[in-house]
């Protein structure tokens, strides 16, 4: 059977589309108007608060930089005065920095002030300045470690051996770069406490430690030998290490190839 073909869709009046768009646009505008009437002031308050917070943060950052630069200039000026011999004026500036809230400049100024005290023969004052840095939890660890060594050197004769051993203990175990200095102080504390059997192995370790200065190694080797340690093995180990290094170096013929 023949089917009746579908009738073509009726043509759409363009005026209907224009009317729909107008209604949709009016609806959107009304929604936006109601939204801003309800939340507009809160949005403006939030934006204003955010801009104020950003401005305050930028000001705080700039203020921190300005304060650090001021402390840097003050510290540099103090060092210049030390070089010219005006240590009294330098000490005044350093004393102000030592009370600073900046832990780095507080520690550095204490080191410089302790140096002035040592040069003037005031070892107790220098020792207390070093101790203040060593006990400062906000100071950088390398500065605290260095201050600990300097404090123990300055106060070694006045400190009981137990205190020296307590402070050097963290640097004795493991592979601390401060071991040669801390080890010598600990070994001397053992000698002072009447325990040479504990001092000898420490002196031996120092003498065999290539990181230690040559003068410290020589001094430690003499002490180790005097305390009954067989230091001949140290020289043998050094000769063996030198021979091994020579064998591993590329030969001129091999390098040329």
Domain ranges of the chain: 80-155, 160-246
Counted residue by residue, the chain has a size of 257
Q: What is the pLDDT of residues 178-212, one digit of tens each?
A: 999 999 999 999 999 999 999 999 999 999 998 89
pLDDT given at position 90: 78
**CA-to-CA separations, 237 to 188, 208, 209, in angstroms, rounded:** 25, 9, 11
Cβ atoms of 95 and 125 within 8 Å: the answer is: no
**Minimal CA–CA distance to 152: which of 188, 106, 201?**
188
What is the arithmetic mean of pLDDT over 27-49? 69
Confidence of residue 4 (pLDDT cuts 50, 70, 90): low
Q: What is the tens place of the pLDDT at every residue in 50-87?
A: 766 766 666 556 655 666 666 667 777 777 777 777 77
**Which pTM does this prediction carry?**
0.63
Q: Which two tokens stand for residue 77?
A: 């000026």
- Whether pLDDT at 91 is above 70: yes
- Long-range own/partner contacts, residues 147-153 (CB < 8 A, 24 or more apart): 147/107, 147/110, 147/111, 149/178, 149/181, 149/182, 149/185, 150/114, 150/126, 151/127, 152/185, 153/185
pLDDT of residue 17: 62
- Candidates 147, 104, 109, 143; CA nearest to 128 is 147
Beta carbons within 8 Å of 48's beta carbon, 6+ residues apart:
none
**Cα–Cα distance measured from residue 38 to residue 83, given in angstroms and rounded to the nearest whole number:** 70
Secondary-structure breakdown of the chain: helix, strand, coil percentages, each rounded to the nearest 5: 75, 0, 25
HSE-up of residue 170 (Cα within 13 Å, Cβ side): 8
Calpha distance 169→182 (Å, rounded): 8
Would you say 98 and 113 are in contact if contact means Cβ atoms under 8 Å apart? yes
Q: What's the chain's average pLDDT?
A: 79
Nearest to 94 by CA among 65, 61, 132: 132
Backbone angle region of 57, left / alpha / beta, with phi > 0 → left and psi within -120 to 50 → alpha = alpha
The rounded distance, in Å, linking the Cα atoms of 172 and 227 is 19
- The interaxial angle of helices 87-97 and 103-119, nearest 10 deg, is 150
pLDDT for res 97: 78
């Amino acid at each position: 059977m023949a089917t009746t073909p579908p009738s073509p869709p009726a043509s759409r009046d363009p005026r209907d589309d224009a009317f729909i768009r107008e209604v949709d646009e009016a609806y959107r505008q009304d929604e936006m108007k109601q939204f801003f009437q309800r939340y507009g002031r809160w949005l403006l308050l939030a934006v204003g608060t955010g801009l104020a917070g950003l401005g305050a943060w930028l000001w705080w950052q700039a203020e921190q930089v300005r304060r650090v630069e001021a402390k840097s200039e003050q510290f540099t000026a103090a060092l210049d005065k030390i070089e010219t011999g005006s240590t009294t004026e330098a000490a005044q500036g350093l004393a102000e920095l030592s009370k600073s809230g900046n832990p780095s400049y507080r520690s550095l100024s204490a080191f410089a002030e302790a140096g002035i005290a040592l040069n003037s023969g005031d070892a107790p004052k220098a020792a207390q300045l070093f101790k203040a840095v060593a006990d400062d939890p906000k100071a950088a660890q390398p500065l605290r470690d260095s201050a600990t060594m300097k404090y123990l050197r300055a106060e070694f004769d006045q400190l009981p051996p137990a205190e020296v051993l307590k402070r050097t203990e963290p640097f004795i175990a493991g592979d601390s770069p401060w071991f040669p200095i801390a080890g010598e102080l600990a070994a001397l504390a053992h000698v002072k406490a009447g325990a040479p059997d504990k001092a000898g192995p420490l002196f031996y370790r120092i003498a065999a430690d290539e990181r230690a200065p040559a003068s410290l190694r020589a001094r430690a080797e003499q002490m180790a030998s005097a305390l009954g340690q067989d230091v001949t093995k140290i020289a043998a180990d050094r000769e063996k290490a030198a021979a091994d290094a020579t064998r591993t170096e590329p030969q001129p013929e091999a390098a040329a190839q």
